[in-house]
Amino acid sequence: MITRRCLLAGSAAIVAPFVVSGASAQAHAARVTILFDAFGRPSDLRRGWGYAALVQYGGRRILFDTGSNGANFEHNVKTLGIDLKKLDFVVLTHRHNDHTAGLNHVLRENPTVTIYTPLEPAGFNSQTPPPLMNLIRRYVESVPDELRYFGGNPPKENRSESPWTGARLVNIREATEVLPGFFLVTVRSEVPGTREMNEISLVIRTPSGGVLLVGCSHPGIEKILEEVVKIEPKLYSVFGGFHLVDIPDARVTELVTGFRDKWKIERMAAGHCTGQFAFAELIRVFGPRFDPAGVGSVIPLPV
């Protein structure tokens, strides 16, 4: 089921990624600018293990993740001439700090911006899950009164405050169209190390197919793709971290070949935790349809 949420006001030319700043950077309406990553062409931008990108499409401006270092994220944003006061919304893909560290700077610039997050049992202002609340409410007669949770009168619901007090956090519980043509998809990880962690991804509908942005793909990039094609069967391009850095080489080759042959994806703009071997395979398999997406890269989207 896809829900619709409207909380907010109001030919694909392929060129090599490049670094721009100031008014020129603001003038283009169909592009993704990589604000934070650990690689890229030589520039004054700062690198770090994390991810952040600015999406400009159809008159909308979306910040997708915020990197791993607040000061370096702020430096890159200012160097690239990005005005955070003009965002339509922010996406935090998952709870890891290498995707959330720059949010304090965002909130200093734009304290009322809507921030979409995954549903987390103890994060992002999420409600404590009902099974845990039932355990908290359990009454054991022999327990002394001073050991009873909430003095024996637990609240109907409980939330753990996020580190960003006052931030307008909105949890994504299911696939949701947050603006016309802009969808957030939530997928739960069953991978050891991130089991039960929810991660959200952004899908933009374009005339050439869907443009997908992923954060780290902890649930598995194929599992995310399976959910995305329910919304947009044809995929034009994929950005972000595919988390293939710790996958056996043979499996990486299988997945990269599948991106082209099974999923029919036209272009790839992988970054962050995708991994060096995966980059090499993406270049081999996609050739000129692989977009280098290091920090500072500006990649056009189809209009």
- Look at residue 131 in the predicted model and tell me its pLDDT: 87
Evaluate whether residue 130 is within a structural domain.
no
> Per the domain annotation, does 3 fall within a domain?
no
Q: What per-residue confidence (pLDDT) applies to 1?
A: 65
β-strand 114-118 against 168-172: which pairing, if any? parallel
| SS3 call for 186 | strand
Residues 179-192, mean pLDDT to the nearest whole number = 95
Q: What's the CA gap between 298 and 292, in Å, rounded?
A: 9
CA 50 to chain centre: 11
Domain presence at residue 104:
yes
- Only one residue has tokens 């580190």, namely 163
Q: What does the pLDDT look like over 146-181, one tens digit per residue?
A: 999 999 999 988 888 888 988 999 999 999 999 999
For 64-83, give the DSSP string.
E---S-HHHHHHHHHHTT--
Specify if 178 maps to a domain: yes
CB 64 within 8 A of CB 241: no
Does 133 map to a domain?
A: no
- Which pLDDT belongs to residue 126? 86
260: Cβ contacts below 8 Å, ≥ 6 apart: 285, 286
- Whether the model clears a pTM of 0.85, i.e. scores above it, the answer is yes
Q: Determine the average pLDDT of the residues in 41-65.
A: 97
222: tokens are: 């194929």
- Mean pLDDT over all residues of the chain? 91
Percent pLDDT > 70 in the chain is 91
Q: What is the CATH number of the domain that holds 37?
A: 3.60.15.10
pLDDT in tens, 224-236: 999 999 999 999 9
pLDDT, residue 4, reads 64
Does 291 map to a domain? yes
- pLDDT average, residue stretch 252-271: 98
The whole-number pLDDT of residue 179 equals: 97
- pLDDT class of 8 with cuts at 50, 70, 90: very low
Distance of CA 66 to the CA centre of its chain: 9
Handedness of CA 262, 267, 271, 277 (dihedral sign): positive
Helix (H) or strand (E) holding 284: helix 276-286
Pick the more confident residue, 7 or 170: 170
User: In total, how many domains does the chain have?
Assistant: 1
What is the pLDDT at residue 22? 43
Domain that holds residue 98: 16-125+160-300
- Predicted confidence at residue 23, as pLDDT, reads 43
Q: Within 13 Å of residue 43, how many CA atoms lie on the same side as its CB?
A: 23
Q: For the chain, give percent helix, strand, coil, nearest 5.
A: 25, 25, 45
- Domain assignment of residue 132, yes or no: no
Predicted local confidence at residue 205, as pLDDT: 97
| 3-class state of residue 250 by DSSP | helix
When pLDDT is cut at 50, 70 and 90, the band that residue 80 belongs to is very high
Report how far apart, in Å, the C-alpha atoms of 209 and of each of 22, 71, 188, 220 are: 30, 36, 24, 21
Residue 265 in any domain: the answer is yes
